[in-house]
Amino acid sequence: MRIIGGEFRGRKIKARQNPAVRPISGRIKKSLFDILKLYIPQARVLDLFAGTGAVGIEALSRGASFAFFVDLNPHLLKELEANLERTGMRQRARTHPGSALEDLSWIPFRSGVSQFDLIFLGPPYKDLQKEPLTYSTPALRRVHEAGLLAPGGLIVCQHHVKEPIEAPPGLELFRREKYGDTFLSFLRAAKA
């Protein structure tokens, strides 16, 4: 995988093959960052279900001020930290093991950031037995309960087209883009 834009464009992100990880495709990543280009400069980014960290690393390359990566798998986080070191982004990023499906109120303490301008959720579509997973709505609930979204911020959820998602009270779905079997759903604070 490569960084496709910004200061570190063209640099490789090393990622071992892992059946539990489904990295964002280059086509979807390019489209996502075309949509987000005005939100990225100086943004504080939270990358949940981080996996390879491709989204957060891309955001840092394009001018985000900080990225916090959360994933349950400590081996993936070690690889992610090595990629941050190799690309020279380590000073603007932190990683921490954790589940996006449980209480997330610890994130401001561990990250040093109380709220984030851009939150990306890329939960797995299927388990190792190829059974569909539905992690998006519970993770959105946890993000909202913890008050992690900054005023004017965005949440982007990458999910399978067959996984319905519901915005918790206080958030609204305002845009959705389809790429094959993938949706990118964009959410923001609901208008009062």
Q: Tell me what pLDDT residue 87 has.
A: 86
- Residue 19 makes CB contacts below 8 A (sequence gap 6+) with 128
pTM for this predicted structure = 0.94
Q: How many CB atoms lie within 10 A of CB 97?
A: 13
Domains of the chain and CATH, by start: 26-189 (3.40.50.150)
| Res 14: pLDDT | 74
pLDDT tens track for 120-141: 999 988 877 778 889 999 999 9
Encode 61-72: b = buried (16+ Cβ within 10 Å), e = exposed.
bbebebbbbbbe
Which tokens belong to 133? 């997973």
Strand ranges (DSSP E) for 53-160? Answer: 66-71, 93-97, 116-121, 149-160
Q: Which of 127, 133, 112 is closest to 44 using CA atoms? A: 112
Q: Which residues of the chain have pLDDT under 50?
A: none
Beta bridge partners of 58: none
